[in-house]
Chain A
Amino acid sequence: MPSRTTGGTGPVAITKTAPQDSAEPGGTEGDGGATEGRATEARAKEARGNEGREQEGREQEGRHLNSPLLLTLVLLTAVMFQDPIRGALAAPVMQSWMTVFVAVMVQALPFLVLGVLLSAAIAVFVPPSFFARALPKRPALAVPVAGAAGAVLPGCECASVPVAGALVRRGVTPAAALAFLLSAPAINPIVLTATAVAFPGNPEMVLARFVASLLVACSMGWLWHRLGRTDWLRPPDRASYEGQGRGAAFWGSVRHDVTHAGGFLVIGAMAAATLKAVVPAQWLSLAAGNPVLSVLVLAALAVLLSICSEADAFVAASLTQFSLTARLTFLVVGPMIDLKLFAMQAGTFGRAFALRFAPATFALAVVVSALTGTVLL
């Protein structure tokens, strides 16, 4: 896996292990860093030697205190070894992998930041009673309303995950928040316009995309309402902001969400870059002949490539060897579930949720878009 060689293991391995290891990279290069590291090590050992439960807390605290130091060490190590790192990354595969990885990050971060600002605003400035009034009381009715409301969030899927998380925390029934999560990246005006531009000869594609996406979003909402269990959803994982000023709560929420969702975005970007660099395009043309296979292959491709929903229409338009129905599947599945989104959903709502929700969404999206394609296209 190319990602492992980029220094990806660096920060992760260091955080996972006890402070002993953190002294190691410091020891190899900076004198100042090394002494600091050893001091930490000594402190940690002392703490462990002495006692049981109670000291655990103090060690925990010691580790927390260390993370700025660790961050400095990671950065310094990387800077000092920059020549070997660059040398290792000089192969064309690695370079194209890194370009795609950085590109996905640079492209997605602004939308993530936008979504995080919006979700912090919802969490801090909009009272829960607003949503109680705005949405119908019965969840079965709230689902289509929330799904249609997705049309007003202009952005791609990275923005919708934190917003949906904030809605759930604000007491919106999960079924409605999930319908919003699925519909927002697919049916907003920017995405529909991009679709119209990408398919100049087939305006019905825009209608098909809108109808199929809204159908899948509402069906998933209703399905969750019937079958979903609240214990699959992880309870809000964050410090409560009660008792703080509004400003402190707002910026605290932004900081938490960016570092959290951003980390999962990195995982998704790495997966997408790997697949883009590894999967040979020849395989695609083999599948294009068979109508069933072509739908399934493009659905899988949408998941793997994790392209921003504002750009996926252009990629779909270039897959000319495939039928319109297969390309519609690509456009419906992509904004609802892909590697990047899966990582972010697992981070926001918990793994138990993501493992059930993602496959169900995928299956439903494939079936609905195949049906819509047969009727409309």
Chain B
Amino acid sequence: MNRLAQTALLFLLGATLLHAATTDLYLRYVKEGLRPLVLLAGAVLIATAAATLWYDRRGRAHDHHPHREPRVSWLLTLPVLALILVAPPALGSYSAAHTGTALTKPFGFPALPTGDAPLRLAVADYAGRAVYDDGRSLQNRRLKITGFVTLDRKGTPYLVRMGLNCCAADAQPVKIALTGAIPPVLRPDTWLEITGTYTPRRMKDPVNGGPIPYLKVTTARPVPTPHDPYDETWNT
């Protein structure tokens, strides 16, 4: 790959990164905090392409090094094509079903707001309180929890949210098993907002033996995929 092709590729790669970071696309792959770095990297790549062109125009004389450029550079077309053409979705039920629940004991259980309205909780928050606090703060409350549907091999339905520390390579699921008025048809990867109540029933994750609490479903409502498909708060 010669200088011109490298320059074009750097420009494309930079533009792709800028495109991903200026839309919500990057949230499917990395945490929100990396956004400035991704933007910066895109800008530097474009600047490199521009500088190469500029110095080439100014200093034609220096261009006669017959230096063989590495062929491995061609592989950089793959991430460009993957991001532009395919833009794979955020990790969903397939990874969730193949990875054990990553529930860890929370530092503490801050008091929940009181009132009659259904209480909005994150999947990991509910699971943590149900397993490690025996649901003390959840008794007799109507709860609203959003996550996507995952079915394991036996067909048990779970409500799952993937937690993220840095990028999707380290994403791990936290699962809640569903019982009660489960909708008759459940398609994996559908995002649901479930209204339900705490139940002391628990099970073990068939993958890693981790604890999975149950949630008694009253109603389930399909919702669009949230702005950030991952839960970035669960362990920081």
Q: Which residues of A contact B (CB under 8 A)?
A: 6-8, 11-12, 15-16, 57, 60, 64-65, 67-68, 70-71, 74-75, 78-79, 82, 85-86, 89, 92-93, 95-96, 98-107, 109-114, 117, 197-198, 200, 237-240, 243-245, 247-248, 251-252, 254-256, 258-260, 262-264, 266-267, 269-270, 272-273, 276, 280-282, 284-285, 305-308, 310-312, 314-315, 317-318, 320-321, 347
Contact = CB atoms under 8 A, between A and B. Distances in A.
Interface string B74-117: 11111101110110111111110011101010010000000000
A71 B8 CA distance: 9
27 contacts: A7-B78, A8-B75, A8-B78, A12-B74, A60-B66, A67-B5, A71-B9, A101-B82, A102-B82, A103-B168, A106-B26, A106-B167, A107-B167, A245-B55, A251-B48, A259-B9, A259-B69, A259-B70, A260-B72, A264-B72, A266-B78, A285-B100, A285-B209, A310-B166, A314-B165, A315-B172, A321-B208
B170 A314 contact: yes
B85 A85 contact: yes
Contacts of A16: 71
Nearest to B58: A248
Contact of B83 (A102, A238, A240, A256): A102
Contact of B86 (A86, A104, A266): A86
A65 B5 CA distance: 9
A107 B67 CA distance: 31
Interface of B: 1-10, 12-13, 17, 20, 26, 28-30, 34, 37-38, 40-41, 44-45, 48-49, 51-52, 55, 59, 62, 65-67, 69-79, 81-83, 85-86, 88-95, 98-100, 102, 104, 107, 165-170, 172, 207-210, 235-236
A104 B102 CA distance: 20
Majority DSSP secondary structure for residues of A touching B: helix
B55 A89 contact: no
B72 A109 contact: no
B2 A15 contact: no
A85 B84 CA distance: 12
Contacts of B236: 197
Contacts of A255: 3, 6-7, 10, 48-49, 52
Contact of B82 (A6, A79, A282): A6
B1 A317 contact: no
A107 B34 contact: yes
Nearest to B73: A259
Contacts of B67: 238-239
A260 B165 CA distance: 28
Nearest to A108: B167
Given A197-B236, A311-B166, A266 B75 contact: yes
Contact of A311 (B20, B66, B165): B165
Given A68-B5, A263-B75, A312-B170, A106 B30 contact: yes
Given A11-B77, A95-B88, A102 B2 contact: no
A5 B59 CA distance: 42
Contact of B28 (A67, A99, A240): A99
Majority DSSP secondary structure for residues of B touching A: helix
B160 to A, nearest CB: 14
Closest A-B pairs by Cβ, 4 of them: A263-B72, A311-B166, A103-B168, A107-B167
B73 A263 contact: yes
Nearest to B29: A103
Contacts of A6: 78, 82
B89 to A, nearest CB: 6
Contacts of B12: 75
A108 B73 CA distance: 16
Contact of B55 (A101, A107, A247, A320): A247
A248 B17 CA distance: 24
A103 B73 CA distance: 19
Given A71-B9, A238-B67, A255-B10, A311 B170 contact: yes
Contacts of A117: 44
Contacts of B207: 281-282
Given A103-B29, A263-B76, A315-B170, A67 B81 contact: no
Contacts of A312: 170
Nearest to A14: B74
Contacts of A266: 72, 75-76, 78-79
Nearest to B50: A251
A71 B71 CA distance: 12
A142 B94 CA distance: 49
B87 to A, nearest CB: 8
Contact of B72 (A8, A113, A267): A267
Given A12-B74, A79-B85, A239-B67, A318 B172 contact: yes
